Chain A
Amino acid sequence: MAEAALRAPRAGAAAAPLLAVNNLEAWYGESHVLHGITFDVAPGEVVTLLGRNGAGKTTTLRSIIGIMGKRTGSVTFDGAETIRMPSRSIARLGVGYVPEERGIFASLSVYENLTLPPIVKPGGLSVDQIYELFPNLRERSGSQGTKLSGGEQQMLAIGRILRTGAKLLLLDEPTEGLAPVIVQQIGRTIERLKGEGFTIILVEQNFRFAQTVANRHYVVEQGKVVDMIPNEVLDQNIDKLHRYLGV
Chain B
Amino acid sequence: MITIFGVPSAALFGQLLLGLINGSFYAILSLGLAVIFGLLNIINFTHGALYMMGAFVAWMLLNYLGIGYWWALLLAPLAVGFVGMLIERNYIAPLSFTNQRQSFVLIGASALGFLLLFYGLRIGPTAAFAGAAAIGVAAASVYAWKRPSQTSTVHVDHLYGLLLTFGLALIIQGLFRNEYGVSGLPYSIPSQLSGGQQIRIFDAPIMFMPNYRGWVIVASLVVCMATWFIIEKTKLGAYLRAATENPTLVGAFGVNVPLMITLTYGFGVALAAFAGVLAAPIYSVNPNMGADLIIVVFAVVVIGGMGSILGSIITGFALGLVEGLTKVFYPEASSTVIFVIMVLVLLVKPAGLFGRAS
List the interface of chain A (C-beta within 8 A of B).
Answer: 29, 65-69, 86-88, 90-92, 97, 99, 103, 105-108, 112, 115-118, 120, 161, 164
Once A105-B245, A107-B245 are accepted as A-B contacts, the answer to whether A164 and B154 lie under 8 Å apart by CB is no
Judged by DSSP, the binding face of B is: helix
Interface pick from B39-47, B118-126, B235-243, B291-299: B235-243
Judged by DSSP, the binding face of A is: loop
**Would you give the shortest CB distance from B232 to chain A, in whole angstroms?**
9
Which one, A68, A88, A105, A115, contacts B254 given CB within 8 A?
A88
Contact A88 B256 (CB under 8 A): yes
**Would you give the shortest CB distance from A156 to chain B, in whole angstroms?**
13
Contact A67 B242 (CB under 8 A): no
Once A67-B153, A69-B154, A88-B257 are accepted as A-B contacts, the answer to whether A97 and B242 lie under 8 Å apart by CB is no
Contact A87 B242 (CB under 8 A): no
Return the chain A residue nearest B249 by Cβ.
Answer: A103
Which one, B238, B241, B252, contacts A87 given CB within 8 A?
B252
Contact A91 B249 (CB under 8 A): no
**Would you give the shortest CB distance from B237 to chain A, in whole angstroms?**
9
**Would you give the shortest CB distance from B338 to chain A, in whole angstroms?**
28
- Please give, as numbers and ranges, the residues of chain A lying within 8 Å of B154 by CB-CB distance: 29, 69
Q: How far is the CA of A115 from the CA of B255 in the complex (A)?
A: 13
List the interface of chain B (C-beta within 8 A of A).
Answer: 98, 152-154, 235, 238-239, 241-242, 244-246, 248-257
Which one, A91, A105, A106, A108, contacts B252 given CB within 8 A?
A91
Once A29-B154, A103-B246, A105-B246 are accepted as A-B contacts, the answer to whether A86 and B251 lie under 8 Å apart by CB is yes
Return the chain A residue nearest B239 by Cβ.
Answer: A116
The 10 A-B pairs with the shortest beta carbon distances in the complex, nearest first, are: A91-B254, A117-B253, A107-B241, A69-B153, A87-B252, A112-B238, A103-B249, A92-B254, A105-B242, A87-B251
Q: How far is the CA of A233 from the CA of B280 in the complex (A)?
A: 79
Once A29-B154, A88-B257 are accepted as A-B contacts, the answer to whether A67 and B241 lie under 8 Å apart by CB is no
Contact A116 B245 (CB under 8 A): no
Contact B253 A164 (CB under 8 A): yes
Contact B254 A67 (CB under 8 A): no
Which one, B235, B254, B256, contacts A120 given CB within 8 A?
B254
Contact A91 B253 (CB under 8 A): yes
Contact B252 A107 (CB under 8 A): no
- Please give, as numbers and ranges, the residues of chain B lying within 8 Å of A112 by CB-CB distance: 235, 238
Return the chain B residue nearest A93 by Cβ.
Answer: B254
- Please give, as numbers and ranges, the residues of chain B lying within 8 Å of A103 by CB-CB distance: 246, 249
Which of A65, A88, A92, A161: most chain B Cβ within 10 A? A88
Return the chain B residue nearest A65 by Cβ.
Answer: B252
Once A88-B256, A118-B255 are accepted as A-B contacts, the answer to whether A108 and B238 lie under 8 Å apart by CB is yes
Contact A67 B245 (CB under 8 A): no
- Please give, as numbers and ranges, the residues of chain A lying within 8 Å of B235 by CB-CB distance: 112, 115
Contact B252 A88 (CB under 8 A): yes
Q: How far is the CA of A198 from the CA of B239 in the complex (A)?
A: 26
Which one, A68, A92, A99, A107, contacts B242 given CB within 8 A?
A107
Return the chain B residue nearest A99 by Cβ.
Answer: B249
Return the chain A residue nearest B98 by Cβ.
Answer: A69
Return the chain B residue nearest A97 by Cβ.
Answer: B252
Q: Can you list 19 residue pairs at the A/B interface with Cβ under 8 Å?
A: A29-B154, A67-B153, A67-B251, A67-B252, A69-B152, A69-B153, A88-B251, A88-B255, A88-B257, A90-B252, A91-B251, A97-B252, A107-B241, A107-B245, A108-B241, A115-B235, A116-B238, A116-B250, A117-B253
